[in-house]
Amino acid sequence: MDDARRTLDELIQKRGVNYSSVSRLLGRNAAYIQQYIRRGSPKQLDDQDRSVLARFFGVDERVLGVPANYSSAVAELVQVPVLNVEASAGYGALPGMETKSAQFGFDEKWLRRLTASNASNLSIIAVHGDSMEPTLHDGDEVMIDLGDGQSRLRDGIYVLRMDEMLSVKRIALEPQGKRASVLSDNPAYPSWRGIEKRMLNIVGRVLWFGRAV
């Protein structure tokens, strides 16, 4: 038994699982891992299986038999800027200092599930205040699609300019389609109804939020 097979066998025993359950983890037939370890078939784990096992057992992928000539592809992350600006979920925040303070990297495929917009249209800003509780908390960071605004307005959470300040609010289109309500999720704060859509100054649609634990 070579080192990779011996290591995998030891990891399985330490975790208290069995060959068949690990095989099912990989989407393989129940005997797959036993055959790999005990019979040497297949000769090597394929890249996807090895990656899944490394994450499951919390080990470096190399201990599971990365071929000597193997070069893992490094995923290119899409960088989304974090701006030095807050969108109020309270009493309003001035939109000054809209400069980059940092960047977050996101997997391109994951971003594509959120939006078809170019990455250049995406920005992350902080939420200030509690008018969108319990949906958004003070200090949450939200990703905004600046390319998804007035022309595609629909129900959802948006960042708007209101009285020259940035605010994050929920927008609900009214049945006739020409007017909208601008809502605070927290009932302790005001909402505005019956506003003509063209009067709304939309900055962008909120796609995602991050929160410290």
Boundaries of every domain in the chain: 3-64, 77-210
CA distance linking residue 81 with residue 107, whole number of Å: 14
- Supply the pLDDT for residue 52: 87
pLDDT score of 51: 84
Query: Taking 80 as the threshold, does the pLDDT of residue 100 lie above it?
Result: no
Domain made up of 77-210: CATH architecture: Ribbon (2.10)
Q: 107 falls in which pLDDT band (50, 70, 90)? A: confident
pLDDT (average), residues 185-191: 95
Q: State the pTM of this model.
A: 0.62
Query: Domain spanning 3-64: which superfamily?
Result: lambda repressor-like DNA-binding domains (1.10.260.40)
Q: What is the pLDDT of residue 60?
A: 83
pLDDT, tens digit, for every residue of 111-151?
Answer: 888 898 888 899 999 899 999 999 999 999 999 999 998 88
Least confident of 102-106, 166-170, 205-209: 102-106
